[in-house]
A and B are shown apart, each in its own frame.
Chain A
Protein backbone atom coordinates (compact mmCIF):
# COMPACT_ATOMS: atom_id res chain seq x y z
CA UNK A 1 0.00 0.00 0.00
CA UNK A 2 1.23 3.48 -0.81
CA UNK A 3 2.31 5.58 2.14
CA UNK A 4 2.18 9.30 2.78
CA UNK A 5 5.21 10.60 4.66
CA UNK A 6 6.31 14.13 5.47
CA UNK A 7 9.65 14.61 7.19
CA UNK A 8 10.10 17.07 10.04
CA UNK A 9 12.06 20.20 9.27
CA UNK A 10 15.80 19.44 8.99
CA UNK A 11 15.23 15.71 8.55
CA UNK A 12 16.37 14.29 5.19
CA UNK A 13 15.85 10.51 5.06
CA UNK A 14 12.40 9.74 3.71
CA UNK A 15 13.09 6.01 4.12
CA UNK A 16 13.99 6.31 7.80
CA UNK A 17 12.37 3.81 10.15
CA UNK A 18 12.62 6.34 13.00
CA UNK A 19 9.03 7.53 12.92
CA UNK A 20 9.74 10.44 15.27
CA UNK A 21 11.63 12.02 12.37
CA UNK A 22 8.34 12.46 10.46
CA UNK A 23 5.78 15.19 10.93
CA UNK A 24 3.23 12.85 9.39
CA UNK A 25 3.45 9.16 8.53
CA UNK A 26 0.39 7.35 7.26
CA UNK A 27 1.12 4.28 9.37
CA UNK A 28 0.10 6.38 12.37
CA UNK A 29 -3.07 8.34 13.12
CA UNK A 30 -2.58 11.82 14.53
CA UNK A 31 -4.28 13.83 17.25
CA UNK A 32 -7.06 15.98 15.80
CA UNK A 33 -9.56 18.25 17.48
CA UNK A 34 -13.23 17.26 17.50
CA UNK A 35 -14.65 20.02 19.67
CA UNK A 36 -13.51 22.65 22.09
CA UNK A 37 -14.89 25.38 24.25
CA UNK A 38 -14.98 27.19 27.52
CA UNK A 39 -16.88 26.38 30.65
CA UNK A 40 -16.64 27.13 34.35
CA UNK A 41 -17.03 25.55 37.74
CA UNK A 42 -18.87 27.31 40.50
CA UNK A 43 -18.24 26.38 44.10
CA UNK A 44 -21.44 27.62 45.69
CA UNK A 45 -21.55 29.53 48.91
CA UNK A 46 -21.45 27.05 51.78
CA UNK A 47 -19.90 24.22 49.74
CA UNK A 48 -16.36 22.85 49.47
CA UNK A 49 -16.55 21.57 45.89
CA UNK A 50 -18.00 22.23 42.47
CA UNK A 51 -18.21 20.51 39.11
CA UNK A 52 -19.49 20.91 35.59
CA UNK A 53 -20.23 18.41 32.84
CA UNK A 54 -19.97 18.57 29.05
CA UNK A 55 -22.03 15.99 27.14
CA UNK A 56 -20.77 14.57 23.87
CA UNK A 57 -21.79 11.89 21.36
CA UNK A 58 -18.42 10.55 20.23
CA UNK A 59 -19.14 7.05 21.49
CA UNK A 60 -15.70 6.81 23.06
CA UNK A 61 -13.91 8.62 25.87
CA UNK A 62 -11.86 11.32 24.15
CA UNK A 63 -8.46 12.54 25.20
CA UNK A 64 -9.02 16.02 26.63
CA UNK A 65 -6.60 18.88 27.07
CA UNK A 66 -7.89 21.31 29.67
CA UNK A 67 -6.60 24.46 31.29
CA UNK A 68 -8.05 25.50 34.66
CA UNK A 69 -7.85 29.07 35.86
CA UNK A 70 -5.81 29.55 38.99
CA UNK A 71 -4.89 33.03 40.15
CA UNK A 72 -3.85 36.22 38.46
CA UNK A 73 -4.97 35.16 34.96
CA UNK A 74 -2.78 32.09 35.14
CA UNK A 75 -3.94 28.63 34.13
CA UNK A 76 -2.75 25.10 34.83
CA UNK A 77 -3.04 22.17 32.50
CA UNK A 78 -4.89 19.25 34.03
CA UNK A 79 -4.10 15.63 33.39
CA UNK A 80 -5.65 13.40 36.00
CA UNK A 81 -5.76 15.37 39.18
CA UNK A 82 -3.51 18.11 40.40
CA UNK A 83 -3.21 20.05 43.61
CA UNK A 84 -2.95 23.74 43.03
CA UNK A 85 -4.70 26.94 43.96
CA UNK A 86 -8.11 28.40 43.30
CA UNK A 87 -8.40 31.92 41.94
CA UNK A 88 -10.06 33.39 45.01
CA UNK A 89 -7.42 33.51 47.72
CA UNK A 90 -4.76 30.91 46.93
CA UNK A 91 -6.54 28.18 48.83
CA UNK A 92 -5.08 24.80 47.81
CA UNK A 93 -7.53 22.70 45.86
CA UNK A 94 -7.66 19.49 43.87
CA UNK A 95 -8.66 19.75 40.23
CA UNK A 96 -9.78 16.68 38.31
CA UNK A 97 -11.00 15.86 34.83
CA UNK A 98 -12.80 12.66 33.86
CA UNK A 99 -13.55 11.68 30.27
CA UNK A 100 -16.13 8.95 29.60
CA UNK A 101 -17.97 7.74 26.50
CA UNK A 102 -20.74 10.30 26.97
CA UNK A 103 -19.41 13.08 29.20
CA UNK A 104 -16.43 15.13 30.25
CA UNK A 105 -16.55 16.14 33.89
CA UNK A 106 -14.46 18.88 35.48
CA UNK A 107 -14.31 19.16 39.27
CA UNK A 108 -12.62 21.18 41.96
CA UNK A 109 -12.38 20.09 45.61
CA UNK A 110 -10.96 22.12 48.44
CA UNK A 111 -8.21 20.43 50.43
CA UNK A 112 -7.36 22.66 53.34
CA UNK A 113 -9.17 25.92 53.52
CA UNK A 114 -11.59 28.15 55.24
CA UNK A 115 -14.39 26.58 53.25
CA UNK A 116 -17.29 26.23 53.06
CA UNK A 117 -17.07 29.11 50.66
CA UNK A 118 -18.27 32.41 52.02
CA UNK A 119 -19.37 33.43 48.53
CA UNK A 120 -19.62 31.76 45.13
CA UNK A 121 -16.23 30.92 43.59
CA UNK A 122 -15.98 30.65 39.81
CA UNK A 123 -13.17 28.82 38.04
CA UNK A 124 -12.89 29.27 34.28
CA UNK A 125 -11.84 26.34 32.10
CA UNK A 126 -10.70 25.96 28.50
CA UNK A 127 -10.86 22.51 26.95
CA UNK A 128 -10.13 20.65 23.71
CA UNK A 129 -11.53 17.16 23.06
CA UNK A 130 -9.71 15.05 20.51
CA UNK A 131 -10.71 12.46 17.96
CA UNK A 132 -8.71 9.98 19.96
CA UNK A 133 -9.32 7.79 22.97
CA UNK A 134 -7.03 6.05 25.40
Chain B
Protein backbone atom coordinates (compact mmCIF):
# COMPACT_ATOMS: atom_id res chain seq x y z
CA UNK B 1 0.00 0.00 0.00
CA UNK B 2 1.25 3.49 -0.79
CA UNK B 3 2.18 5.80 2.07
CA UNK B 4 1.99 9.50 2.74
CA UNK B 5 4.89 10.72 4.87
CA UNK B 6 6.06 14.26 5.61
CA UNK B 7 9.43 14.40 7.34
CA UNK B 8 10.21 17.24 9.68
CA UNK B 9 12.69 19.76 8.28
CA UNK B 10 16.21 18.39 8.67
CA UNK B 11 15.12 14.77 8.51
CA UNK B 12 14.13 12.35 5.75
CA UNK B 13 11.15 10.05 5.53
CA UNK B 14 13.11 7.13 6.98
CA UNK B 15 13.74 9.07 10.18
CA UNK B 16 12.54 7.97 13.59
CA UNK B 17 8.80 8.48 13.97
CA UNK B 18 9.48 11.21 16.50
CA UNK B 19 10.84 13.35 13.66
CA UNK B 20 8.00 13.00 11.20
CA UNK B 21 5.22 15.53 10.75
CA UNK B 22 2.77 13.14 9.11
CA UNK B 23 2.90 9.38 8.57
CA UNK B 24 -0.15 7.72 7.08
CA UNK B 25 0.70 4.55 8.99
CA UNK B 26 0.04 6.36 12.26
CA UNK B 27 -2.95 8.10 13.76
CA UNK B 28 -2.33 11.77 14.42
CA UNK B 29 -3.64 13.30 17.60
CA UNK B 30 -6.26 15.66 16.15
CA UNK B 31 -7.91 18.45 18.12
CA UNK B 32 -11.66 18.67 17.60
CA UNK B 33 -12.36 21.31 20.23
CA UNK B 34 -10.51 23.99 22.22
CA UNK B 35 -12.64 24.92 25.20
CA UNK B 36 -12.31 27.98 27.42
CA UNK B 37 -13.89 27.13 30.76
CA UNK B 38 -14.96 29.80 33.25
CA UNK B 39 -13.97 29.13 36.84
CA UNK B 40 -17.58 28.94 37.92
CA UNK B 41 -18.56 26.33 35.33
CA UNK B 42 -19.33 22.91 36.71
CA UNK B 43 -19.53 20.88 33.51
CA UNK B 44 -19.10 20.98 29.75
CA UNK B 45 -20.76 18.80 27.14
CA UNK B 46 -18.19 17.46 24.67
CA UNK B 47 -20.86 15.25 23.09
CA UNK B 48 -18.50 12.79 21.44
CA UNK B 49 -20.19 9.64 22.72
CA UNK B 50 -16.84 8.19 23.82
CA UNK B 51 -14.00 9.13 26.15
CA UNK B 52 -11.71 11.65 24.43
CA UNK B 53 -8.10 12.42 25.21
CA UNK B 54 -7.26 15.92 26.36
CA UNK B 55 -4.69 18.46 27.41
CA UNK B 56 -5.80 20.55 30.40
CA UNK B 57 -4.48 23.85 31.75
CA UNK B 58 -5.60 26.27 34.44
CA UNK B 59 -5.12 30.01 34.64
CA UNK B 60 -4.02 32.16 37.53
CA UNK B 61 -3.55 35.87 36.76
CA UNK B 62 -1.15 35.95 33.78
CA UNK B 63 0.14 32.42 34.30
CA UNK B 64 -1.03 29.06 32.93
CA UNK B 65 -0.40 25.85 34.86
CA UNK B 66 -1.08 22.20 34.03
CA UNK B 67 -4.37 21.07 35.54
CA UNK B 68 -3.86 19.72 39.05
CA UNK B 69 -0.82 21.90 39.73
CA UNK B 70 -0.13 23.84 42.88
CA UNK B 71 -0.36 27.56 42.13
CA UNK B 72 2.35 30.13 42.87
CA UNK B 73 2.22 33.73 41.74
CA UNK B 74 5.03 35.47 39.87
CA UNK B 75 6.43 36.64 43.22
CA UNK B 76 6.99 32.97 44.05
CA UNK B 77 4.32 32.94 46.74
CA UNK B 78 1.99 29.99 47.12
CA UNK B 79 -1.62 30.96 46.50
CA UNK B 80 -3.56 27.74 45.94
CA UNK B 81 -3.25 24.00 46.27
CA UNK B 82 -5.86 23.74 43.53
CA UNK B 83 -6.38 20.01 43.69
CA UNK B 84 -8.46 20.75 40.65
CA UNK B 85 -9.12 17.88 38.34
CA UNK B 86 -11.65 17.02 35.70
CA UNK B 87 -13.79 13.93 35.40
CA UNK B 88 -14.98 12.61 32.06
CA UNK B 89 -17.69 10.39 30.79
CA UNK B 90 -18.69 9.70 27.21
CA UNK B 91 -20.73 12.92 26.99
CA UNK B 92 -19.45 15.48 29.48
CA UNK B 93 -16.54 16.91 31.43
CA UNK B 94 -17.17 17.60 35.12
CA UNK B 95 -15.01 20.15 36.93
CA UNK B 96 -13.74 19.93 40.49
CA UNK B 97 -12.37 23.46 40.77
CA UNK B 98 -12.41 24.71 44.37
CA UNK B 99 -10.52 27.93 43.59
CA UNK B 100 -12.72 28.66 40.56
CA UNK B 101 -9.79 29.18 38.22
CA UNK B 102 -10.44 29.53 34.51
CA UNK B 103 -9.16 26.67 32.41
CA UNK B 104 -8.45 25.65 28.84
CA UNK B 105 -8.99 22.14 27.52
CA UNK B 106 -7.80 20.80 24.19
CA UNK B 107 -10.06 17.89 23.25
CA UNK B 108 -8.77 15.47 20.65
CA UNK B 109 -11.10 13.32 18.62
CA UNK B 110 -8.95 10.31 19.37
CA UNK B 111 -10.76 7.93 21.67
CA UNK B 112 -8.95 7.37 24.93
CA UNK B 113 -8.46 3.72 24.03
CA UNK B 114 -7.98 4.54 20.31
CA UNK B 115 -11.18 2.64 19.55
CA UNK B 116 -12.32 2.94 15.94
CA UNK B 117 -16.01 3.58 16.27
CA UNK B 118 -18.18 5.47 13.86
CA UNK B 119 -21.25 7.64 13.81
CA UNK B 120 -19.97 11.11 14.58
CA UNK B 121 -19.37 13.83 12.00
CA UNK B 122 -16.10 15.20 13.30
CA UNK B 123 -13.69 14.89 10.38
CA UNK B 124 -12.98 17.96 8.27
CA UNK B 125 -10.54 19.34 5.73
CA UNK B 126 -9.54 18.58 2.17
CA UNK B 127 -6.58 16.29 2.84
CA UNK B 128 -7.73 13.14 4.60
CA UNK B 129 -6.10 9.78 5.23
CA UNK B 130 -8.43 6.96 6.23
CA UNK B 131 -7.40 4.04 8.37
CA UNK B 132 -6.69 0.73 6.64
CA UNK B 133 -9.73 -0.79 4.97
CA UNK B 134 -11.80 2.40 5.00
CA UNK B 135 -12.59 4.76 2.14
CA UNK B 136 -12.48 8.50 2.74
CA UNK B 137 -15.74 9.39 0.96
CA UNK B 138 -17.66 6.87 3.05
CA UNK B 139 -16.68 7.99 6.54
CA UNK B 140 -17.01 11.08 8.74
CA UNK B 141 -15.89 10.03 12.22
CA UNK B 142 -12.43 11.24 13.21
CA UNK B 143 -11.74 7.88 14.85
CA UNK B 144 -11.71 6.34 11.37
CA UNK B 145 -8.94 8.61 10.09
CA UNK B 146 -5.18 8.76 10.46
CA UNK B 147 -5.16 12.42 9.52
CA UNK B 148 -7.59 15.21 8.56
CA UNK B 149 -6.26 18.57 7.44
CA UNK B 150 -9.21 20.46 8.91
CA UNK B 151 -8.16 19.63 12.46
CA UNK B 152 -5.22 21.01 14.37
CA UNK B 153 -2.39 18.71 15.39
CA UNK B 154 -0.05 18.99 18.38
CA UNK B 155 3.23 20.36 17.03
CA UNK B 156 6.44 19.92 19.01
CA UNK B 157 9.15 22.56 18.79
CA UNK B 158 12.36 20.53 18.71
CA UNK B 159 14.51 23.61 19.26
CA UNK B 160 12.69 25.01 22.27
CA UNK B 161 12.19 21.63 23.94
CA UNK B 162 14.92 20.28 26.19
CA UNK B 163 15.86 19.52 29.77
CA UNK B 164 17.17 21.43 32.75
CA UNK B 165 18.04 21.01 36.40
CA UNK B 166 16.45 22.37 39.55
CA UNK B 167 18.73 22.41 42.59
CA UNK B 168 16.46 22.70 45.58
CA UNK B 169 17.40 23.47 49.19
CA UNK B 170 13.82 23.00 50.32
CA UNK B 171 12.72 26.59 49.77
CA UNK B 172 10.91 27.68 46.63
CA UNK B 173 13.24 27.05 43.70
CA UNK B 174 12.64 27.77 40.05
CA UNK B 175 14.35 27.59 36.68
CA UNK B 176 13.21 29.82 33.85
CA UNK B 177 13.33 28.78 30.19
CA UNK B 178 12.89 31.61 27.71
CA UNK B 179 10.68 30.82 24.73
CA UNK B 180 9.65 34.35 23.61
CA UNK B 181 6.68 33.02 21.61
CA UNK B 182 4.45 35.93 22.66
CA UNK B 183 1.72 33.56 23.83
CA UNK B 184 1.25 30.76 26.33
CA UNK B 185 2.32 27.54 24.59
CA UNK B 186 1.17 24.02 25.38
CA UNK B 187 3.86 22.31 27.47
CA UNK B 188 4.33 18.74 28.65
CA UNK B 189 7.10 18.07 31.17
CA UNK B 190 8.31 15.24 33.34
CA UNK B 191 10.67 14.66 36.24
CA UNK B 192 13.37 12.59 34.55
CA UNK B 193 15.40 11.94 37.66
CA UNK B 194 15.98 13.29 41.14
CA UNK B 195 18.09 12.72 44.23
CA UNK B 196 15.12 12.96 46.59
CA UNK B 197 13.12 9.83 45.83
CA UNK B 198 13.48 7.68 42.71
CA UNK B 199 9.81 6.67 42.99
CA UNK B 200 9.05 9.92 41.18
CA UNK B 201 11.50 9.43 38.29
CA UNK B 202 9.85 9.54 34.87
CA UNK B 203 6.67 10.93 36.35
CA UNK B 204 4.99 13.66 34.27
CA UNK B 205 4.35 17.03 35.89
CA UNK B 206 2.51 18.23 37.89
CA UNK B 207 3.61 16.15 40.85
CA UNK B 208 2.84 16.46 44.51
CA UNK B 209 5.66 14.58 46.22
CA UNK B 210 3.80 14.23 49.47
CA UNK B 211 0.26 13.01 49.68
CA UNK B 212 -0.31 14.79 52.98
CA UNK B 213 1.18 18.25 52.35
CA UNK B 214 2.10 20.64 49.58
CA UNK B 215 5.38 19.44 48.03
CA UNK B 216 5.05 20.25 44.36
CA UNK B 217 7.16 19.89 41.26
CA UNK B 218 5.39 21.71 38.47
CA UNK B 219 5.57 24.54 35.96
CA UNK B 220 3.74 27.51 34.56
CA UNK B 221 4.02 29.54 31.39
CA UNK B 222 4.09 33.23 30.68
CA UNK B 223 4.11 34.72 27.19
CA UNK B 224 7.91 34.70 27.22
CA UNK B 225 8.98 31.96 29.64
CA UNK B 226 8.44 28.46 30.91
CA UNK B 227 9.01 28.44 34.68
CA UNK B 228 9.76 25.10 36.36
CA UNK B 229 9.53 25.06 40.14
CA UNK B 230 9.57 23.00 43.29
CA UNK B 231 9.28 23.60 47.02
CA UNK B 232 9.57 21.57 50.16
CA UNK B 233 12.14 18.96 49.19
CA UNK B 234 15.93 18.98 49.10
CA UNK B 235 17.70 17.56 46.09
CA UNK B 236 18.59 17.91 42.43
CA UNK B 237 15.80 17.49 39.91
CA UNK B 238 16.28 16.90 36.19
CA UNK B 239 13.21 17.99 34.29
CA UNK B 240 12.59 17.34 30.60
CA UNK B 241 10.05 19.47 28.78
CA UNK B 242 8.36 19.70 25.41
CA UNK B 243 7.17 23.08 24.16
CA UNK B 244 4.52 22.91 21.45
CA UNK B 245 3.47 25.43 18.82
CA UNK B 246 -0.10 25.25 20.09
CA UNK B 247 -1.51 28.29 21.81
CA UNK B 248 -3.26 28.06 25.18
CA UNK B 249 -3.88 31.79 25.20
A interface with B by C-beta (< 8 Å): 1, 3-4, 6, 8-9, 19-20, 22-34, 36-38, 60-61, 63-67, 70, 73-77, 79-84, 94, 96-100, 109, 111, 126-128, 130-134
Q: Which residues of chain B have a CB within 8 Å of any CB of chain A?
A: 6-9, 17-23, 26-29, 51, 53-54, 56, 66-68, 83, 85-89, 94, 110, 112-114, 124-125, 127, 149-158, 161, 183, 185, 188-190, 201-208, 211-212, 240-242, 245-247
B205 pairs with A80, CB closer than 8 A: yes
Selected A-B contacts with CB under 8 Å, 23 pairs = A1-B9, A3-B9, A4-B6, A6-B127, A9-B125, A24-B153, A26-B21, A27-B9, A28-B8, A28-B245, A30-B155, A31-B153, A31-B154, A33-B26, A33-B27, A67-B112, A73-B89, A74-B94, A75-B112, A77-B54, A79-B206, A126-B112, A132-B242
Asked if A33 and B7 sit within 8 Å, CB to CB, the answer is no
> Once A and B bind, how many residue pairs between them come within 8 Å at the CB atom?
196
Residue of B nearest to A65 (CB): B53
Chain A: CB-nearest residue to B247: A20
Check if A134 sits within 8 Å of B21, measured CB to CB.
Answer: no
Q: Which residues of A contact B89 (CB under 8 A)?
A: 73-75
Instruction: Sort A-B residue pairs by CB-CB distance and give the 7 closest, nearest first.
Output: A36-B114, A19-B245, A131-B17, A28-B155, A32-B26, A126-B112, A30-B153
Q: A32-B23, A34-B17, A67-B51 are in contact. Are A83 and B28 (CB under 8 A)?
A: no
A23 touches B204 (CB 8 A): no
Query: In the complex, A8 Cα to B88 Cα: how many Å?
Result: 27
Q: Are A100 and B202 in contact (CB under 8 A)?
A: yes
- Complex contact B6–A26 (CB within 8 A): yes
- A74 to B, closest residue via Cβ: B87
A11 vs chain B, min Cβ distance (A): 10
Q: How far is the CB of A94 from chain B (nearest CB, A)?
A: 5
Contact of B203 with A80 in the complex, beta carbons under 8 Å: yes
Q: Are A83 and B207 in contact (CB under 8 A)?
A: no
